[in-house]
Chains A and B, each alone.
Chain A
Amino acid sequence: MEDKSKVMTAQEAIRRFVHDGDQLVLGNYTVGTCAELVNEIVRQGRQGFTLYSQSGIFDVDILVAGGCVDRLVTTYVLRAGGKNGGSAVERAIQAGTLQIEDYTNYQYNARLVAGMHGFTLLPVFESTLATDLFRQRGFMGDKKYAVIECPFTGRNIVLVPAVNPDVCVVHVQRADRFGNAQYWGAQGSVAAAALASKRIIVSCEEIVDEAIIRSSPHLTILPAFRVDAVVEIPWGASPSEVLGYYNMDMLMYGLFMAADSTADGLKAWMAEWVYGCPDRKAYIDRYISKFGSRSLDAIKAKPFYSAPANYGSAFTSRWDQDGRERNLGVTMEELESILHERGKFYE
C-alpha cells in the first residue's frame, strides 16, 4: 500500500472523525492540551459527548460551556477562582445538564490501559472500597466497579471496566505526515488515552520529516497506522504549555480563569477567543493585535536538547566493503556459482 499523508486542517479532521454522541477522550493530561482541536469541536457545534478527561483544565470547561457534553468521566475538574469562584462543570452539574462519574487518577487511567491492550477490565487498588468513590455511583451505576475473588490468592479484587472511546483528540510536539506522533516530558496517560481509542486525531507543533522520527523512535508514542489525522497547529496548546516550544501563557490563563467563574464571563471569553477565531492563526493574530507580540515572545522556550541516543550498530548490510558476505566470505557472483555447481538451483 502506498504511504498516505494524513495531513489536514483541524476543520476537516473534526468534521470527518468527531461525531455527535461520541465517547470523546482528551488525550492530554494537565499540560499541552489540544486547545485548538477543542475549540474547533465547539465551533462545529458537536453535541451529546460522553467526555473522558484525566484532569480537566480549560479544555473540559470550554466543551461543557459549548454545550457539547452530556456526561463526564474524570478524576479532577477545574475550579476557577478557588472557593468563591465557580466553573462551567460546576454550573452544569448544578443545572442538571451534566452527569459526572468520579474515578481516582489510577482508576481512570486503568480503564484506558485495559482498553488500549484489548482487555475487558483491569484491577485497581482495593483501598477504594473504603471510599465514596466506590459507594457513590453516577450514571455508570453497577458497572462503575466490580469486586471478584482472586482465583490465585482468594483476596477480593476491585475491577474497573475497559473503555475504548470512539475518538481521541491529542496534541504532541511533532509528528510526520503519516501520523507517527512524538511526545516527551510528563507522559501522564497520553499514550493510553490515544491508543485505547478507535479513532485518533493528532495536532502537533510541527510536522517533521519522516527521517527525524526514524532516528528517534523512542519518542514516538503513537504509530502511524493508528492515527487518522495529523494537523499542524503551532501554538496549538496555548494557553497551556508545550515542553520545548512555549511556557504557559499566564496572561490568557488569568483571563480565562477570571471569566470561567461566571457563566456570562465565560460566554464572553468564548465569543472572543473560541467562536471569534476561526482557527489558531486567527487566535494568535487577535492575541498579538490586542496584547502585542511581547508576551508570546517572552514565553517561547529556550532549547535544552536531549542527548542523542546512539542507534548505531557495526554494519547495516550483510555485504562488506569488498562485496563479500560477512560470514560466508564470498561475493554474490561466487555464491551463485557455488549454488549452480552444487545443484541447488531448479534448472
Chain B
Amino acid sequence: MSKPYTLEELLSIVVAREIRDHENVILGVGIPMTAGALAKALYAPHATLMMESGLIDIKPLLPPNHIADAHACRGFSYATDLFSTFTMTYRGFVDVCFLGVAQVDRFGNLNTTVIGDYNKPTIRLPGSGGAPDFISYAKRTVLTMLGGQFVEKLDYLTSPGHLEGSGSRDRSGLFPKGSGPTLLVSTQGVFGFDPETQEIYLAKLHPGVSVADVQREVPWTLRVAGDLSETPRPTDDEIDFIRRFNPANSVGRALALELSLANLAAKGGLSSL
C-alpha cells in the first residue's frame, strides 16, 4: 500500500502517465504543467516539453503559472515563437497535448468560449487560446476536467473533438487520421473514447466514486467499460515527486489560498491591505 494521496495529486499522476518517453509534448496551464514535470522526472526523461509561447524543451524546476512563465525559461534549449510552435504542430511533430475542459459533449468536442449566447453571454469564458489548433493536429489529446460539465449540446464549439463520432472526424478530411481526444480525466474518473463510435465511456473510477455519481453529471446514458476498475494507486515515488514539486497543487486551490493568506497575515503583509 502506498502512502496517502489527494485527488489533485491523483489527477496530475494519471495525466503524467499519458506521456511516453521520447515524445514531443505540448503542456497547457494547470495540471499538465505539473504532470509534465513528473513524467520527465520518472517515466519520460527524453520527452521534449513545449509551450505555445515558443519555449521548447523545458526543464521544469518550478511549477509555471502560465505558458510564458519566466520560471520555464531556465535551461530550455530552443527559443522560438508562437507561430512556429503551431506550424510544427500542424506538420505533425507533436505527439500529445493536454487541454482543459469547460463544456464537453459525448464525442469530446469542447467549448471554452462562452456559456449562453455568444453576443449576450451568461458567462464569457477565456476563449480558444491555442486549444483548437492543438487538438486538431497533435496525434493525441488528453482532456482534463476540474470544474467543467458534460452537455448534450455545446453552447459554442471551440475545439473539435470527434465531431459527430463514428469516424466523422477522419472522414472530414480536415484532421490527421486517428487524431483527436484519447482520454478525459475528471475529478470522478477516467474516460476513454470508443474506437468505433468515438463516444465517451467511463473506464476508471477514482476512489470513493460510484457509477451513479458519475452518471448524475452526464445528461445522457453514460456507457461504462466492461472492465471498469479503480484508477490505479499512485506510487510513493510519484506522490513524493509531485508533493515536493508543486505542493500548492497537492493541497488544492481553496486550501492553498487559505494557507497563503494565513502566511501573509502572519508576516504582517495583510494589515496594510
A residues with a Cβ closer than 8 A to B are 29-31, 54-55, 74-79, 82-83, 87, 89-90, 93-94, 102-107, 109-110, 113, 125-133, 136, 184-192, 241-243, 247-248, 251, 255, 290-292, 295, 301, 304
A106 to chain B, nearest CB (A): 4
A130-B55 contact, Cβ under 8 Å, with A54-B82, A186-B68, A189-B81? no
Which one of B73, B126, B130, B174 lies within 8 Å of A106 (CB-CB)?
B130
A29-B82 contact, Cβ under 8 Å, with A133-B128, A187-B53? yes
Q: Is B2 an interface residue (CB 8 A)?
A: no
B70 with A87: CB separation less than 8 A: no
| Cα A6 to Cα B23 with chains together (Å) | 47
| Cα A314 to Cα B175 with chains together (Å) | 52
A188 with B147: CB separation less than 8 A: no
B160 with A131: CB separation less than 8 A: yes
From B66, B127, B131, residue with most partner A Cβ within 10 Å = B127
Q: How many residues of chain B get a CB closer than 8 Å to chain A's CBs?
A: 54
A76-B126 contact, Cβ under 8 Å, with A104-B133, A185-B68, A186-B73? yes
A132 with B157: CB separation less than 8 A: yes
Interface residues in B84-106 by Cβ distance below 8 A to A read: 86-87, 90
| Cα A82 to Cα B148 with chains together (Å) | 11
Return chain A residues, CB-CB under 8 Å to B264.
251
Residue of A nearest to B273 (CB): A255
Give me 13 A-to-B residue pairs in the complex whose CB atoms sit less than 8 angstroms apart, sorted by A's number: A29-B53, A76-B129, A93-B119, A105-B130, A105-B133, A125-B137, A127-B137, A127-B160, A186-B67, A243-B70, A248-B69, A251-B269, A292-B272
B99 to chain A, nearest CB (A): 12
Interface residues in B52-77 by Cβ distance below 8 A to A read: 52-55, 65-70, 72-74
A30 with B66: CB separation less than 8 A: yes
Interface residues in B33-61 by Cβ distance below 8 A to A read: 51-55
| Cα A109 to Cα B130 with chains together (Å) | 11
Q: Is B231 an interface residue (CB 8 A)?
A: no
Residue of B nearest to A291 (CB): B272
A106-B86 contact, Cβ under 8 Å, with A125-B133, A187-B79? yes
Q: Is B220 an interface residue (CB 8 A)?
A: no
Which one of B83, B137, B269 lies within 8 Å of A109 (CB-CB)?
B83
B265 to chain A, nearest CB (A): 13
